[in-house]
Amino acid sequence: MSAAYITVPLYRAAHGRTGDKGNRSNISVIAWHPALYPVLLSQVTEHVVAQHFAHRQPSRVQRFELPGLAALNFVLDEVLDGGVNDALNLDTHGKALSFWLLDLPIEIPAELAPLLAGPD
């Protein structure tokens, strides 16, 4: 029974928003329920996030923990191809990056499934 895990996209366990300053992006990952926060802590790590954004070649990924908000804040350095004034991307702010991260597959203990957002 201990193997009862389900794989879901991160957006079912968390929501978030992207902000930018210069060539640096921050992405919040906020648990839909405090009971889901430990899952984020163990699975949405700096390494995993750096891998997920490998094509953007971040020079550094830092994770900050906000237990009072059941939230993580990721800071990705040099990930915006220069930032709002320099990048050639249509989305020079990187506004859409939070939804790219929210597609990350994660494993949730089955008993927490009722806390997930959205349809099964």
Partner 1 sequence: MNPSASPLLIGCAAGFSGDRVDAAGPVVDTLVARGGPAFLIFETLAERTLALAQLRRRADPQAGFEPLLDDMLRPVLARCLAHGIRIVSNFGAANPLAAARHIRAMAAGMGLPAPRIAVVSGDDLSGESHAQLLRAQLGATMDGIRKVSANAYIGAEAIAAALNAGAQIVVAGRVADPSLTVGPAMSHFGWRADDWDRLARATMAGHLLECGAQVCGGYFADPGYKDVPDLHAVGYPIAEIDSEGHCVIGKAAHTGGVVSLAGVKEQLLYEVHDPAAYLTPDVVADISEARLTVAGPDRVALTGVRGHARPASLKVNVCHEGGWLAEGEISYAGPRAEARARLAADVLRQRLPELALRVDLIGALSIMGDDAGRLLQNTPAGDARDVRLRVAATHAERARAERLPREVTALYCCGPAGGGGVRTSLTPRLNTLSCLVPREAVPLRFEMLEKV
Contacts with partner 1, residue ranges (CB under 8 A): 11, 15-17, 19-22, 24, 26, 28, 30, 32, 55-57, 62, 64, 66, 68-69, 71, 73, 75, 81-91, 96-97, 100, 117-119
Q: Please, which residue, 105 or 119, has the CB nearer to partner 1?
A: 119
Q: Please, which residue, 39 or 70, has the CB nearer to partner 1?
A: 70
**Smallest distance, Å, CB 109 to partner 1?**
21
Q: Is 110 helix (H, G, I), strand (E, B) or coil?
A: helix
Q: How far apart are the first and last CA of the chain?
A: 21
**Smallest distance, Å, CB 1 to partner 1?**
30
- Contact predicate 26/19, CB 8 Å: yes
> Which residues lie below 8 Å from residue 37, measured CB to CB, with a gap of 6+?
31, 67, 70, 71
